Amino acid sequence: MTTETTTKTTGETRQLASYLAGLRFEDIPEAVVARTEELFLDWIPSALAGRNARPVEALERFAQTMGPEDGPSEILVSRRRSSPLFAALVNAASSHVVEQDDVHNESVFHPATVVFPAALAAAQQTGASGRDFITASIVGYETGVRVGTFLGRSHYQTFHTTGTAGTLAAAAAVAHLLGANAETMLQAIGSAGTQAAGLWEFLRDAADSKQLHAAKAAADGLLAAYIARDGFTGATHILEGKQGMAAGMSSDADPARLVEELGESWAVLDTSFKFHASCRHTHPAADALLRAMQKNGLAADRISRVRTQVHGAAIDVLGPVTDPRTVHQAKFSMGFVLALIALRGVAGIEDFTDESIRDPELRAFHDRVEMVFDPEIDAAYPRRWIGLVEVETTDGHEFTSRVEVPKGDPGNPLSRTEIEDKARRLAAFRDGASTDEIGRVIERAWNLAHEPDVRDFLGA
């Protein structure tokens, strides 16, 4: 057997595609199914909370202009219907606005915001059952998390993993719903990978690109799956090939991460819920500051300086935002998030407003926060996101606070009651859904594995 033939048989992309295509609901442990239901319920209200956000409205106008007037798939924020492509596009963008969608630590990837929009849109078009939808979503999570982890830390310095790995995640989820065999799954992944994109430069301009990354990942992944079903071919070594994603987007890619522990470890069980309504890189420090203040009875006006010890990626992502001028920029400002924690005790969805950005007390505290690179914390990242803050007080005292497992991580997860409470708060934001509507969504989410189909979550 030639070297080329051996590679085609044993290449990591092909091995992953074969596993993904063969996964069945009966293969999935009950705990994995239950966690998928929880993550789904965590996602829908995040999408609803994007209602009336300017980037979402722009993308929905695009969908109205370019898409059909009606269709099988729901656009959640407006209750309109469209084709799966445009529903996936808008729902992905809307669920990535308020920074409450889930995150996988090691891959530094937001799975829900790309997997669920694409899978739901396709499932509503095909009439898939709740069991089929759950299985496809798990396939999407496995794909995105493994690709993000494979691409490594160097990838994240320039590329937004949710836009890049997310395109493949959406493709795999939809391909599974469409009944892809191993070869078709491979072609879908290939076509998704060649479209994968998303750059961090937007942070410096307070641009809307983050929502576009999620929108395009979901829609382009869905496109890749549908055309693969009809025989369109893609690169079979799109991940590890000489001119594939790793070659162009990473300097530390590890192909073994694509296939290790397939069927033994489950990405959804390693995925974190977001407790604070801000960039995940701010959460460990926010938890540590809150603990320091509670433990030592500190009020904000007693704090003269907060020094946050952080991993390098936190500096890469948060460092450019030195003077937040928009709500979205404020969510990427360590100083502003910690100011909310210090002065209000919370950094929730209602706390990030145009008024709060201009609040002189919050601004003054923001200026008293600095980030410092910590080698130990950086070495633990991204497997562990450690929070460490050093607090100096106006009367000369110093306190250190460390959090090993931030709130929402698998080792410190939200309870189902907390997930429901979060869902209701998000649904109420900007009147995203009525009390009755979110109540029905919650009931269906907890019964997802027994639903005959996943149509009409909000529409009649």
Q: What pLDDT does residue 460 have?
A: 53
Give the angle 86-92-98 at the CA atoms, nearest 5°: 140
Report if residue 408 sits inside a domain: no
User: Does the pLDDT value for residue 320 go beyond 80?
Assistant: yes
Query: Is 460 within the bounds of a domain?
Result: no
* Residue 418 belongs to some domain of the structure: no
What does pLDDT average to over the chain?
A: 95
Please check whether residue 349 is in contact with residue 49, taking contact to mean a CB–CB distance below 8 angstroms: yes
CA–CA separation, 204 and 207 (whole Å)? 8
Residue range 386-401, pLDDT digits in tens: 999 999 999 999 999 9
User: Would residue 419 count as lying in a domain?
Assistant: no
Rounded CA-CA distance 137/280 in Å is: 22
Q: Which pLDDT tens digit goes with each residue over 91-143?
A: 999 999 999 999 999 999 999 999 999 999 999 999 999 999 999 999 999 99
What is the average pLDDT across 394-423? 97
pLDDT of residue 206: 87
Same domain, 37 and 178: yes
What is the DSSP track for 134-169? HHHHHHHHHHHHHHHHHHHHHHHHHB-HHHHHHHHH
Q: Which domain holds residue 201?
A: 3-274+427-450
Contact 176, 23 (CB under 8 A): yes
Residues 193 and 311 in one domain: no
| 341 and 247 fall within a common domain | no
CB-CB contact of 310 with 372 (8 Å) = yes
Mean pLDDT of 425-446: 96
On whether both 432 and 309 belong to a single domain, the answer is no
pLDDT for position 326: 93
Question: What does the pLDDT read at residue 10?
Answer: 56
Question: What mean pLDDT comes out for the span 171-195?
Answer: 98
pLDDT of residue 339: 98
266 and 305 housed in the same domain = no
Per-residue pLDDT, 190: 98
Q: Are residues 151 and 17 in the same domain?
A: yes
| Sign of the torsion angle spanned by Cα atoms 173, 174, 175, 176 | positive
Q: What average pLDDT does this structure show over 49-70?
A: 97
CATH number for the domain harbouring residue 343? 3.30.1330.120
Q: Does any domain span residue 302?
A: yes
pLDDT cut 70: percent of the chain above it? 97
Assigned domain for 411 exists: no
- Per cent of the chain over pLDDT 90 is 96
Who contacts 314 (Cβ-Cβ below 8 Å, separation ≥6)? Answer: 281, 282, 334, 371
* 192 in the same domain as 126: yes
User: Is 185 a member of any domain?
Assistant: yes
* Same domain flag for 294 and 366: yes
> Residue 167 pLDDT more than 90?
yes
Q: For 455, left (φ over 0), alpha (ψ -120 to 50), or beta?
A: beta
Asked if residue 153 and residue 53 are part of one domain, the reply reads yes
d(CA 280, CA 297): 26
CA dist 199 and 306 (Å) reads 30
- Residue 204's pLDDT is what? 87
Residue 414 lies in a domain: no
pLDDT grade for 441, boundaries at 50, 70 and 90: very high
Confidence check: pLDDT of 8 > 60 = no
Residue 6 is predicted with a pLDDT of 33
Q: State the CATH number of the domain containing residue 233.
A: 1.10.4100.10
Number of domains the chain is built from: 2
> DSSP labels for 61-96?
HHHHHHS-S--SEEETTTTEEE-HHHHHHHHHHHTT
Residues 270 and 287 both lie in one domain:
no
Shared domain check, 259 and 299: no
Pull the structure tokens for residue 338. Answer: 């910690």
Q: What is the pLDDT of residue 3?
A: 33
Residues paired with 75 in a beta bridge: 80
Do 180 and 309 sit in the same domain of this protein?
no
- pLDDT per residue over 230-251, tens digit each? 999 999 999 999 999 999 999 9
